[in-house]
Every structure is written in C-alpha cells, then in structure tokens.
C-alpha cells in the first residue's frame, strides 16, 4: 500500500513510522515547495503532484490549510480520504460552525463578521467578553483577538480589519468567551464500513495558545457526551480516518471548540498509552483495514517540546519516558518533539510528572511545573 500525505511535517513523519510494520509506505507532498518528499528524511522523491497522485493507492492529509486547487485534483482522483468537505470544515471556521450546527452539536455562540456593521451586530448578538478568530489559516492560537471592554472596540476593529482585507475570502468569527473549567479533546477513527472507535478523552493544557500538556483521563459521563458528538460529526461528514474534537468542559457539560480532520497533537499520547496509536488507526481507516483497539493500556501524559532541540539525559533515563523528536530545525516556540510519560497507575504517573518537573526548566515547560505546584 502506498499512501500520499498532503503536508510533510511531524504528523506525516509519525504516520510513516506507524505504517512501516503494516507495509504501508508513505510519501509526503510539501505544500510550500511542491516537492514530494520522504516524511522521515525529507529527501526529495519527486516533483509535481500529478505523478504522486498516479502512484498512490490512497491520499490523505496531515493538516487542513491546503490550497483548494490541490484538494480538487486529489478529490478528482477518487483516492482522497477523508473528504475535501471535511478538510474545508477544519480549515474554515465558517464552514466548521455551520457543520456543528447541522450536526446539532453544542458549540459556543457565534457571529460571522465581514464588515464594520457585522462587528456591531456581533457585539449585540454574542456579547462581551468575546474571542475573535480569523476564519482561515488559524492554528496554535494565531489570528485571534480578545475583546473584553467596549472601550477597545475601535482598536480591535483596526487590527482585525487589516486581516480581513489582507486575504481573499478571509472573515472573522466572533465567539462568546467561554469560562471553561478545563479543555478536553476526543480523538477517534471511523472506518470505511462506518465502524467507529474513540480513544479515552485527553485533558489539555495550553500555554500562550499552544498545547503544552495532554493527559488521558477516565470519566465515563464526559466520555459518553464526547463520543455522541464525535459520532454526530463523523457521520454527518461520512468521515473516514482519524478525527479530533476539541471541547470546553463547562461544569460537566461539553461544548465543541473546534474540529481537526486529521491526527491531532492531543492524541500523541496514544503512541505509548493505547493499544493502537492514532497514526496507525488513521492509516488502517484510509487503507480500508479494520480499526485497531483504542483501549488505554497505561495511564499516559504527553508533554510538547517547544523551541528546544535537546533534553536533560535524566528524561530518557526516567522509567516510562519516551522521547519523540521530529527532526526539525530549532526555532523559538516551534513544535520540536514530545515526551510521552506512562505508568502502571495514575498515582505513579503523577509521581513521574513531579520528577520531570525537577529536571525540565520552568520557562520551557510551565505546564509541567504548574501541575507539580498543584500536587504539592
Ligand atoms: P490549535 O490549532 O492549537 O487547536 P487554534 O488556533 O485552532 O488552535 P482554538 O483552538 O480555537 O485555536 O483556540 C486556541 C485556544 O484559545 C483554545 O484552546 C482555548 O484555550 C482558547 N479559546 C478559544 N476559543 C475560546 C472561547 N470561545 N472562549 C474561551 N477561550 C477560548
Ligand atoms: Mg484548538
């Protein structure tokens, strides 16, 4: 089996690692350079998308911000999974919100802004405080503004309108500010025959809008809510592959924040903590194979390594710690790798995180230190 992945980052890399034992070969389309590259070495394997499409059995994607002309040629080949519709829903907050409403899945109250008049209407409809998000191109909290008070309306508009004018088809989605207790996400897979397997929910901590710590949790009531919403969205899209839903937990009630039509950072813990990791399950789904069990085998946390290309040796020396580097050049704030830390019991995992807080510096790993602080 040969799978072509749109996007040549760490997600394609980890798909490649998970696919090898199944004889699934991955090549990646680097959307920037338009080269076909090896997802592990980045060695150039070819030029031009047409040939790569021809040679692939299946085409999938590792991110949602893909030029529409690229999506169209892939869709036309009849090999692309999930669908163009699913990728567009993940990449455009207008389509995403409409999809959630159609699937009758709870989400934050919103209003789409294309003009100054719309902005006034949004303030009326949604109320303050609000979060304003660019509809296209947002990731890791980029392209977002917070509006708390009436006095900041004009200055916020000045910043936002620049963004609306700068890009074709760009608009802003105004969302009510949700006072959540915590953020959780559900990663799951839907196979070609419609069967669905979801992983245990992960509790996610963000630092400056970027995911920093993710831990699999065991909460029957929340899991059921999340699973039902997952099924509603996946079936509405006739989805095939791994899909992630991000939620706000507001006193035990889940609201969907956003969806990601792909393997997700908050699912990296499954590499050590679940029977079958998300990367393998994505490949199984798009290749028409049976899904693997998503059962938790060990309580696990994932720590993102942001902007650093080395770790104290004590991390790898610690029992239950697994380091995954992405082979990327060091840049401030960049996702460079992650650490999965597993244990036999939750209490043991907590002890392990406390030990990691002693060796990981506070500036780069604030979420681990906050966790340690709370435990004291
Ligand atoms: P990523 O790609 O990392 O998931 P993103 O750029 O797509 O991020 P969101 O997930 O929409 O953006 O928002 C980033 C973070 O901002 C959320 O995880 C949450 O912490 C906060 N946030 C977003 N929307 C709201 C809201 N309506 N109310 C309160 N906080 C919010
Ligand atoms: Mg998000």
DSSP for 33-73, please give it. Answer: T-EEE-TTT--EEEE-HHHHHHH-SEEEES-S---HHHHHH
Q: What is the pLDDT, as a whole number, of residue 269?
A: 99
- What would the pLDDT profile of 5-25 be if each residue is shown by its tens digit? 999 999 999 999 999 999 999
How large is the average pLDDT for residues 369-374? 96
Mean pLDDT value across residues 203-218 = 96
pLDDT tier at 226 (50, 70, 90 boundaries)?
very high
Distance 138 CA to ligand 2 centre (A): 9
- Please list, residue by residue across 61-77, b when 16 or more beta carbons sit within 10 angstroms of its beta carbon and e when fewer do: bbbbebeeebbeebbeb
Alpha-carbon Rg for the chain in angstroms: 21
pLDDT of residue 167 exceeding 80 = no
Are the C-beta atoms of 241 and 190 separated by less than 8 Å?
A: yes
Residue 1 CA to ligand 2 centre (angstroms): 32
State mean pLDDT over 145-172: 91
* Cα of 256 from ligand 1 centre, angstroms: 11
CB atoms within 5 A of ion ligand 2 belong to 246
Residue % of the chain over a pLDDT of 90 = 94
Q: What number is the average pLDDT over the span 211-237?
A: 98
CB 273 within 8 A of CB 338: no
* Mean of all residue pLDDT scores within the chain: 96
Tell me the CA–centroid distance for residue 343 and ligand 1, in Å: 30
pLDDT exceeds cutoff 80 at 358: yes
Predicted confidence band at 37 (pLDDT cuts at 50, 70, 90)? very high
Mutate to test the pocket of ligand 1, among 209, 210, 260, 264 (most ligand atoms within 8 A of CB): 209
Separation between Cα atoms, residue 199 and residue 206, nearest integer Å: 20
Residues 65-109: tens digit of each pLDDT:
999 999 999 999 999 999 999 999 999 999 999 999 999 999 999
Ligand nearest to the CA of 136: 1
Q: Distance from the CA of 209 to the center of ligand 1, in angstroms?
A: 7
More reliable by pLDDT, 337 or 376 = 337
Q: Which ligand ends up closest to the CA of 142?
A: 1
Token pair of 222, please? 């929340």
Residue 253: per-residue pLDDT:
98
What pLDDT is attached to residue 304? 98
Atom of ligand 1 nearest to the CA of 133: 11
Looking at ligand 1, which atom is closest to the CA of residue 142?
6
- In whole angstroms, give the CA distance from residue 318 to residue 244: 30
**What is residue 168's predicted lDDT score, i.e. its pLDDT?**
80
Q: What is the pLDDT of residue 227?
A: 98
User: Which bound ligand lies closest to the C-alpha atom of 96?
Assistant: 1
For residue 267, which of 235, 232, 230, 233 has the smallest C-alpha distance? 230
Give yes or no for residue 323 having a pLDDT over 90: yes
Q: What is the pLDDT of residue 300?
A: 98
Between 68 and 239, the higher pLDDT residue: 239
What pLDDT digit, counting tens, does each position of 174-202 carry? 999 999 999 999 999 999 999 999 999 99
């Amino acid at each position: 089996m040969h799978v072509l992945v749109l996007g040549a980052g760490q997600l394609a890399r980890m798909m490649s690692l998970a696919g090898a034992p199944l004889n699934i070969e991955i090549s990646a389309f680097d959307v920037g350079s338009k080269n076909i590259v090896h997802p592990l070495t980045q060695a150039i394997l070819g030029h031009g998308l047409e040939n790569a499409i021809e040679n692939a059995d299946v085409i999938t994607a590792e991110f949602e911000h893909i030029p529409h002309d690229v999506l169209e040629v892939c869709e036309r080949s009849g090999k692309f999974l999930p669908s163009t519709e699913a990728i567009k829903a993940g990449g455009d907050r207008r389509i995403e919100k409409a999809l959630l409403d159609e699937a009758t899945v709870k989400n934050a109250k919103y209003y789409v802004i294309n003009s100054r008049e719309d902005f006034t209407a949004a303030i009326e409809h949604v109320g303050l405080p609000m979060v304003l998000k660019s509809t296209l191109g947002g990731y890791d909290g980029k392209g977002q503004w917070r509006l708390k008070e009436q006095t900041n309306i004009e200055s916020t508009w000045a910043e936002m309108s620049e963004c609306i004018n700068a890009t074709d088809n760009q608009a802003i989605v105004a969302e009510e500010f949700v006072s959540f207790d915590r953020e959780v996400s559900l990663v799951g897979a839907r196979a070609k025959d419609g069967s669905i397997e979801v992983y245990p929910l992960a509790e996610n901590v963000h630092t400056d809008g970027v995911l920093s710590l993710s831990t699999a949790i065991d909460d029957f009531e929340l899991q059921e809510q999340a699973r039902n919403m997952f099924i509603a969205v996946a079936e509405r899209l006739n989805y095939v592959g791994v899909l992630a839903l991000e939620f706000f937990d507001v006193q035990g009630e889940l609201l969907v924040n956003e969806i990601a039509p792909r393997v997700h950072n908050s699912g990296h813990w499954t590499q050590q903590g679940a029977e079958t990791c998300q990367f393998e399950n994505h490949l199984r789904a798009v290749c028409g194979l049976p899904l693997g069990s998503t059962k938790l085998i060990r309580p696990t946390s994932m720590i993102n390594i942001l902007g650093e290309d080395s770790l104290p040796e004590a991390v790898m020396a610690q029992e239950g710690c697994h380091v995954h580097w992405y082979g990327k050049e060091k840049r401030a704030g960049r996702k460079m790798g992650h650490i999965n830390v597993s244990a036999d019991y939750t209490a043991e995992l907590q002890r392990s995180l406390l030990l990691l807080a002693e060796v990981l510096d506070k500036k780069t790993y604030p979420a681990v230190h906050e966790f340690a602080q709370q435990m004291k």
